[in-house]
């Protein structure tokens, strides 16, 4: 078992709120409308897909970088003579497309955004793209809230990345006190941008902490009622086998869980009994085949009521446990 480290190395800071992308255009500036003929767009799409696969990805790019959603795409077929408004020129979209196809750059980085739950989040290189399976962590967290009045509730998101979980929790629990923690300053800048974007800016009720897991939270140890984390959990030997779109572009700090994938989880679990409030809940996402190992770590740390939770595909993807109320 890893011991709970001293907080001396941590520095608490409010990350700047400079917007990283500013829009979902991926072009680095405010989107401007471009008009193209539907027939021209259909021919362009056919040409780019001539090599075979990639239809759903190209449609994703058209939607999130070009601003043409499903309904708009259907209209193309029905009214091929109509002009279509796009947020970017076909030449600019094509440039992004080839960067994705040739260099495996993630579409979300190219578009500068990622839909997640009911949110449209800014994303940028250097910060993990929020995954669909993580969406459920928010529901699990809200179902497991200890019986504390919202205004007294303290929550934390350890390893906040884009801030997806922090934004969702801040919106669901506007009166609570929240903390979004990350070791990456790049991530915290993006978190700040997303919190601003969704009307829950860092401030008195929400702090961004530049910290190694729990360290900067030390003043609140013993008072944290809900702590969520989707830590890095890929075993190091598996990193090389990841899809190039992940392996070559997403940050190792967000992926690498050490030799067995459990290094970050051990560090988080080790401090939980001291950092959680009595009755406080820890909720973790983990690697698809680590359910038993994580439950064993939670129990060995003295946490109670350990439970495994499935994701929407039936994979045992999450674990929760509670600090005893005494
Ligand atoms: C798997 S990503 C999760 C990001 C985000 N919560 C999500 O679900 O998309 C893990 C995050 O943990 C952060 N991280 C890694 N090591 C850390 C540490 N020692 N202390 C705090 N954060 C850390 C990474 O920078 C990354 O943002």
At a CB cut-off of 8 Å and minimum separation 6, what does 172 contact? 138, 142
The alpha carbon of 192 and the centre of ligand 1 are apart by a number of angstroms equal to 15
Judge if 97 and 127 occupy the same domain: no
Residue 83 DSSP one-character state = E
Which pLDDT band, with edges at 50, 70 and 90, does 17 fall under?
Answer: very low
Total structural domains within the chain: 2
Give a yes or no: residue 27 inside a domain: no
Mutation to probe ligand 1, out of 4, 121, 159, 210 (largest number of atoms < 8 A from CB) = 159
Mean pLDDT of the chain, nearest integer: 91
**Nearest residue to 270 via CA among 306, 300, 230, 231:** 300
Write out the residue range of the structural domain in which residue 190 sits: 7-21+115-322
CA–CA separation, 136 vs 310, rounded Å?
Answer: 9
| Residue 13 in this model has a pLDDT that exceeds 50 | no
Judge if 264 and 142 occupy the same domain: yes
Give a yes or no: residue 164 inside a domain: yes
CB 122 within 8 Å of CB 108: no
Of the chain, the percentage scoring pLDDT greater than 90 comes to 84
Which pLDDT band, with edges at 50, 70 and 90, does 11 fall under?
Answer: very low
Judge if 53 and 14 occupy the same domain: no
Q: Is the Cα dihedral 224, 228, 230, 236 positive or negative?
A: positive
The alpha carbon of 129 and the centre of ligand 1 are apart by a number of angstroms equal to 11
Q: How many residues does the chain have?
A: 326
Point out the domain boundary residue: 66, 82, 111: 111
Q: Maximum Cα–Cα distance for the chain, whole Å?
A: 71
Residues framing ligand 1 (Cβ under 6 A): 128, 130, 134, 159-162, 164-165, 181-184, 187, 212-213, 230-232, 253-254, 264
Output the pLDDT for position 3: 59
**Nearest residue to 60 via CA among 92, 109, 108:** 108
Give a yes or no: residue 195 inside a domain: yes
Give a yes or no: residue 131 inside a domain: yes
CB 254 within 8 Å of CB 229: no
CA–CA separation, 120 vs 84, rounded Å?
Answer: 23
Judge if 77 and 101 occupy the same domain: yes
Give a yes or no: residue 189 inside a domain: yes
217-270 pLDDT, tens digit per residue, is 999 999 999 999 999 999 999 999 999 999 999 999 999 999 999 999 999 999
Q: Please give the backbone phi and psi of residue 49, each rounded to the nearest 5 degrees, phi first.
A: -95, 5
Which pLDDT band, with edges at 50, 70 and 90, does 21 fall under?
Answer: very low
Output the pLDDT for position 32: 66
Judge if 163 and 210 occupy the same domain: yes
CB 210 within 8 Å of CB 249: no
Judge if 17 and 46 occupy the same domain: no
CA–CA separation, 250 vs 319, rounded Å?
Answer: 25
The alpha carbon of 83 and the centre of ligand 1 are apart by a number of angstroms equal to 44
Other Cβ atoms within 10 Å of 292 Cβ, number: 11
Could you tell me the two tokens for 80? 């091929």
Output the pLDDT for position 24: 54
Which pLDDT band, with edges at 50, 70 and 90, does 326 fall under?
Answer: confident
The alpha carbon of 230 and the centre of ligand 1 are apart by a number of angstroms equal to 7
Find how far residue 231's CA is from the centre of its chain.
11
Give a yes or no: residue 28 inside a domain: no
Judge if 216 and 317 occupy the same domain: yes
Output the pLDDT for position 25: 41
Judge if 216 and 132 occupy the same domain: yes
CA–CA separation, 204 vs 167, rounded Å?
Answer: 15
23-58 pLDDT, tens digit per residue, is 454 434 445 689 999 999 999 999 999 977 899 999
Q: Please give the backbone phi and psi of residue 304, each rounded to the nearest 5 degrees, phi first.
A: -115, 170
Judge if 95 and 213 occupy the same domain: no
Judge if 104 and 126 occupy the same domain: no
Give a yes or no: residue 197 inside a domain: yes
Judge if 230 and 180 occupy the same domain: yes
CA–CA separation, 295 vs 307, rounded Å?
Answer: 7
Question: What SS3 class is residue 103?
Answer: helix
Residue 60 DSSP one-character state = H
Give a yes or no: residue 1 inside a domain: no
Could you tell me the two tokens for 285? 């996402």
267-315 pLDDT, tens digit per residue, is 999 999 999 999 999 999 999 999 999 999 999 999 999 999 999 999 9
Which pLDDT band, with edges at 50, 70 and 90, does 173 fall under?
Answer: very high
């Amino acid at each position: 078992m890893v011991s709970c480290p001293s907080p001396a190395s941590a520095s608490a800071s409010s990350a700047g709120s400079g917007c990283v992308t500013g829009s979902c255009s991926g072009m680095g500036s405010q989107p401007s409308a471009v008009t193209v003929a539907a027939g021209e767009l259909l021919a362009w799409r056919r040409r780019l897909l001539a090599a075979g696969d990639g239809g759903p990805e190209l449609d994703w790019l058209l939607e999130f970088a070009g601003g043409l959603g499903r309904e708009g795409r259907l209209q193309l077929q029905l009214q091929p003579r109509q002009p279509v408004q796009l947020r970017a020129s076909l030449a600019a979209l094509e440039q992004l497309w080839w960067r994705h196809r040739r260099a495996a750059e993630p579409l979300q980085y190219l578009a500068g955004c990622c839909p997640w739950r009911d949110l449209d989040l800014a994303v940028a290189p250097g910060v993990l793209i929020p995954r669909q399976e993580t969406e459920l962590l928010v529901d699990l967290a809200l179902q497991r809230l200890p019986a504390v009045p919202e205004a007294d509730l303290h929550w934390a998101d350890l390893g906040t990345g884009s801030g997806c979980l922090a934004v969702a929790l801040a919106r669901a629990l506007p009166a609570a006190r929240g903390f979004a923690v990350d070791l990456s300053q790049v991530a915290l800048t993006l978190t700040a941008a997303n919190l601003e974007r969704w009307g829950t800016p860092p401030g008195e009720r929400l702090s961004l902490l530049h910290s190694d897991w729990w360290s900067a939270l030390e003043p609140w140890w013993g008072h944290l009622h809900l702590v969520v984390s989707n830590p890095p959990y890929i075993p190091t030997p598996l990193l090389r086998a990841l899809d190039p779109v992940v392996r070559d572009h997403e940050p190792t700090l967000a992926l690498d869980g050490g030799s067995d994938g459990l290094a970050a989880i051990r560090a988080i679990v080790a401090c939980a009994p001291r950092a959680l409030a009595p009755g406080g809940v820890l909720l973790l996402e983990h690697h698809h085949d680590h359910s038993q190992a994580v439950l064993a770590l939670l129990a060995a740390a003295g946490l109670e009521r350990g439970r495994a939770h499935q994701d929407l595909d039936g994979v045992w993807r999450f674990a929760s446990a509670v600090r005893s109320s005494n």
